[in-house]
Amino acid sequence: MDLVADAVTMVGRLRDVRVGLSPGRLTAICGPNGAGKSTLLSALAGLEEPDGGHVSLGQHRLAELTARERAIAIGYLPQAGEVAWNVTVETLVRLGRLPHRTPMRIDAAATMAALQALDLTGLAGREVGTLSGGERARALLARVLAGQPRWILADEPLAALDLAHQQALLAHFRRLAGQGVGVVVVLHDLALAMNHADHVIVLDRGTVAANGAPHLALAEGVLAGVWGVKARWVGDGRTRALAIG
């Protein structure tokens, strides 16, 4: 089921945003600070009601779905995740199964798969309060993965990760997309978006400045117009680097 923002307007943050996202693709949302990236992701997750327009999942508007239906379909990772209780990593990840009401063996298998995907099995018994920033970020994302949603929306999921875990997570996102999951991530690193995304949306001051394949949405003219930098891409395929100046 496609996830569609149709003329979404949120006063002071987004203006007439129209984007269509398809499952089976890794989509990157990029743009300067304050462009509206987190706001758009929150609207796509159904967490904020637009002042104008609407967001639809398949044939249904998100506003028509129950909170449980949205939680099963869409897994959302905010930029700054909070953990209310100092539980173990395994307990935190298992919380991603709450909307499903499935047998314990199924919940346990999904929890273990998420822990393995984020390289957390060795930390499963640790309390969240003892984790480093990067470990905590991986644990919060594992909670989303444990829910096995049809859509994963993650706001800067790579920000606290070291290089090895960044690459591992991007590879996992691509595997999920290959299995038909829709993956949408906010990224500041344009080279990662160019090399790993199937689709890129560029926001600028609350509007869509570019929307399409990475080589088009992140073309040098777009970089100059949106980010105000003179830059060029070097390399080819999925090994491009951005040279500035």
All domains of the chain in start order, with CATH: 3-244 (3.40.50.300)
Model pLDDT, residue 160: 81
Model pLDDT, residue 125: 97
CA–CA separation, 70 and 66 (whole Å): 6
CA–CA separation, 120 and 139 (whole Å): 7
Per-residue pLDDT band at 38 (split at 50, 70, 90): very high
Distances (CA, A) of 73 to 2, 76, 194, 201, 220: 12, 10, 27, 22, 36
Using a cut of 0.85, tell me whether the model's pTM lies above it: yes
CA–CA separation, 147 and 142 (whole Å): 9
Per-residue pLDDT band at 161 (split at 50, 70, 90): confident
